Structure 1
Amino acid sequence: MAQALPPPSGPGASAAQPGGFRAALTDALGEVSAAQGESRRMQQELQLGNPAVSLEDTMVAMQKSQIGFQAVLAVRNRLVQSYSEIMNMQV
């Protein structure tokens, strides 16, 4: 019977242990969703002529949300690829 591994120790161990990968992925999705919402809000404010919202800030917000979405999409694609490889392994 396999022996259970001891919990990881070190400077980053306590930060990664409580939530794990699922919590990190959920947080990342939440941040990307928030960035997209902020970008959408800034676009609407810019279209309505709000002087407090500049074109430059709106473009930066749009780029941030696009980059975040692309990163999450790349992680998802890699997870699906890894899952497919594991399912196709000969046991």
Structure 2
Amino acid sequence: MTDAISSILSQIRAHETLMRGPTADVAAGNAIKPQGLQPDAIGRGGDAPGFGDTLNRALEGVSRAQRESGELQKAFEMGDPRADLARVMVAMQESSVAFRATVEVRNRLVQAYQDVMNMPI
């Protein structure tokens, strides 16, 4: 049984070596840092925002929703006629859902990081 497994593994490795070519174990000169790009431009494909920018904007949106919800709640408690109960409740639910989604994204990112760190080299 182990001879069959070893045979299959050796065939897979041979196939991978053929697919990669003779310099598969040697990293290309531009594999780590693409040439022609400044260090600040890495990860930003032209005008597209990077992952960090997108994450910052999402966090700012959650923060803004929580701030507006708190302001509406305070205005309602102070008796402001423009802050009705329905608007306050909707704003509170929106900020709650946004916060829970952010926490879930954070948990997934942490799990992905831990998975990558636990990968064998």
Q: TM-score, normalising length from structure 2?
A: 0.62
Q: Which structure is larger by alpha-carbon Rg, 1 or 2?
A: 2
CA offsets 1:22-79 (integer angstroms, 9 cap, x no match) = 0010000000000000000000010011111100000000011011101111110000
For 2:88 and 2:79, locate their aligned partners in 1 and report how far apart those are by CA, in whole Å.
Answer: 12
Aligned-residue RMSD, C-alpha: 1.5
How far, CA to CA, are the matches of 2:86 and 2:97 in structure 1? 17
From 91, 99, 104, give the equivalent of 1:69: 99
TM-score by length of 1: 0.82
Paired positions, count: 81
Identity %: 42
What stretches of structure 1 move > 4 A for 4+ residues in a row? Answer: none
- In the alignment, what sits opposite 2:39? none
Does structure 1 residue 37 correspond to structure 2 residue 63?
A: no
1:26 corresponds to which residue? 56
Amino acid paired to 2:69: S
Identify which of structures 1 and 2 has the higher relative contact order when contacts are C-alpha pairs closer than 8 Å and 6+ apart.
Answer: 1
The gaps in structure 1 that reach 5 residues or longer are: 5-12
**Aligned pair in 2 of structure 1 residues 38, 80: CA closer, same or farther (>3 Å)?**
same
Q: Which runs of 5+ in 2 are unaligned?
A: 1-27, 35-44
